Every structure is written in structure tokens, then in C-alpha cells.
Amino acid sequence: MDINNVAELSVDFKEFIELKKKKILLNPIGTLPRYSQQNIDLGLPIAIMDYQYDLIKNYRQEKSTNINQYQNCDLKQNQVQKTNFLPNKCIYPENFSNKDNIYKQVYYDLVVKYGYYVQQGSKYGCDFVLYENDPDTCHSSFLLNIIDPHKKQILTVRDLVLWQRVSNKVNKKAVIAILIEKDPEFNFTTQNKEQKSNREIEIKYFCLDSYINDLKIIK
């Protein structure tokens, strides 16, 4: 799994604005024609990351359903259906996330459950950067690193010191997300493969600066 996988390229700027209102931040990667010598403000196309794709599919399905409910004309319905498959979208199915994609699970939890604005964090050497409010109006608050249970990662003192020093240097707090697999109750009638696939994932957050393990309190 790679956090940098792109699931789709889009030039739908209206969708970009609407998703931002829902705290889903997409990634413009194109150069602005009038300001081609800078790379701070970027434009179309817009990259939709692999870990974001499920939330965006849900948004599109809900929007399409709502539109169809209020439009009885067959012609208008056909136009709506076509807009979902315009050639302004370039899809990369080989990058689509698996069900056990840890980045997708943590991203969903941060956006839907806790209400953060979340960006990819390679700029700071972490997995995600968390904003409490619109990134256009405030700085980020947390640098988050994810511990993957499938890779059996081992946290060292060096890792903790490095993450905390980087976060303190940029006036942010370092947070660790740990995914814990809950073992289901053993059932003789089910196979081991089915039991493994049905394991629930619980996400725990720990702040290195304040030693608080509840994001709601940290926020």
C-alpha cells in the first residue's frame, strides 16, 4: 500500500469546492497558465488520492440520487447520468485501495468521526497533516504517523524523538495512530480465513506531547 497512489484525475472544479465544504481536501497538481513560474498555487487537473476515493464515490452517489429524485424528465435524467462519466475524469483502477488499506480507514475516521481537514503529510515526513479548520484560514495542528499492524512495525525511541522534534520545530503536535485488530470469538463452524477477514479494526490515537489518547480531548 502506498499513500501516494492517485485513484483519479479530475477537472471538475465545482466538485472540488463542494467537497471542501465537506472537509474533503483534494489536491490540485496543475500549473496555472498565468503564474507558471511558481508552485505554491496550483490548478487543474485535480488529483483524488486512493485513500479518499470511497468518500468521494459516496458523495457522487448521494448527489446523483438527489438530482434524480427532483428530475422527472427522461432527457434531463440522461444528461445527469452522462455527467458522471464525462471524459474530464481519468481513472486509475490499478491504484484502488483494498479493504484493508490502513490509510483509507484512518482518513475516514479523521474526517467523518472527528471532523478534521486532512492532507497527505510527505512535506513533513509523516502520513497525514491535520487541520482543525479550513487550511486557507489557519495552520495545521497535528502531524500524524500510522503504525501498520500488518507490517509488525516496531516503535523505537529514536522514532518517537524524531517525530516529536520535527513537530515541535514547526509548532505542531505529534500524533500516532495505531490500528489494533480485534480477534473474533472462535467458531468451529467457520473457517480460519473467514474469521481473519471479519476481524474488526480499532484505531487508537496517542499524542506524544501531552500523552492524551483521545483525539476529541486533544482537539
Burial-class residue 127 by CB neighbours within 10 Å (0-12, 13-18, 19+).
buried
Q: What is the pTM of this model?
A: 0.81
Confidence of residue 83 (pLDDT cuts 50, 70, 90): very low
Average pLDDT of the chain is 81
pLDDT top residue among 93 and 140: 140
What are the domain boundaries of the chain?
1-31+41-71, 96-183+200-218
96-183+200-218: CATH architecture: 3-Layer(aba) Sandwich (3.40)
Place of cell 520545530: 169
Q: What is the pLDDT of residues 104-116, one digit of tens each?
A: 999 999 999 999 9
- Which secondary structure element, helix H or strand E, spans residue 67, and what is its range? helix 53-70
pLDDT top residue among 212 and 93: 93
Place of cell 511558481: 38
Q: What is the pLDDT of residues 126-169, one digit of tens each?
A: 999 999 999 999 999 999 999 877 777 788 899 999 999 999 99
Mean pLDDT of 68-81: 53
- Where is average pLDDT lowest: 57-66, 73-82, 86-95, 206-215? 73-82
